[in-house]
Amino acid sequence: MSVEEFEKGYFYATELKAFAKELGIDVGTLRKNEVEDHIKARLSGSYDTPLPKGVPNRKTSGSRDRLSPDSYIVNYVSDKATKTFLKEEISKRDPDLKDKSGQWYWLNDWRKEQIRNNRKITYRELIDRLYELMTTKGRLPRIPSTRFNNFITDFLVAPENEGATRQEAMDEWERLKKIPVQKNYQEYKKFLNKTA
């Protein structure tokens, strides 16, 4: 398989991890988009840019961290209890602050980057970062591995699809999955324009 063929395909996370293992890639704690980066490097034979490394959530086999602003993040658990704690701390600053699409993904991304850089951080720093994300003007950057969500959003906001339903967008996504183009709305439109 070439990189181009790979990029024009669509793989669920389980399929992607199985394919990576066939190629001899240890997926460990890598995210879907990080696994894709490793696969593309293996398929192309190009390792010019550093590949993402998995970052475990836990450093010891001990119990989870005590949820307190001054606690260091050692054995992080991304669950309802942690999110509730973080949101309670945020509400002390601004009780009316609303969730923002992608905030948990980008918070986790930031946390893992700190760990990769051997930086010890506290839950207060995590709270500060979450507050920054939630108060960012406009939308947060797109999550790289959510092609389906990105396509649905782009399809529904496109002026030419005004009045389209979510089901119609999902039907078009299913159609796109069978077309040999990259899986995004822009490539889908180009393909439709060429075949019209």
Other Cβ atoms less than 10 A from the Cβ of 87: the count is 14
Q: Which two tokens stand for residue 147?
A: 């092609």
**pLDDT (0 to 100) of residue 168:** 93
**pLDDT (0 to 100) of residue 195:** 79
How do residues 105-159 score in pLDDT, each as one tens digit? 899 989 988 988 889 999 999 999 999 999 999 988 877 767 788 888 888 888 9
pLDDT-flagged residues of the chain (< 50): none
CA distances to 14, 86, 103 from 75, in Å:
26, 16, 21
Cβ atoms of 126 and 77 within 8 Å: the answer is no
**pLDDT (0 to 100) of residue 17:** 87
Angle, helices 103-116/123-134, rounded to nearest 10 degrees: 140
Backbone angles phi, psi at 106, to 5 degrees: -70, -30
Q: How far apart are CA 194 and CA 186, in angstroms?
A: 13
**pLDDT (0 to 100) of residue 57:** 60
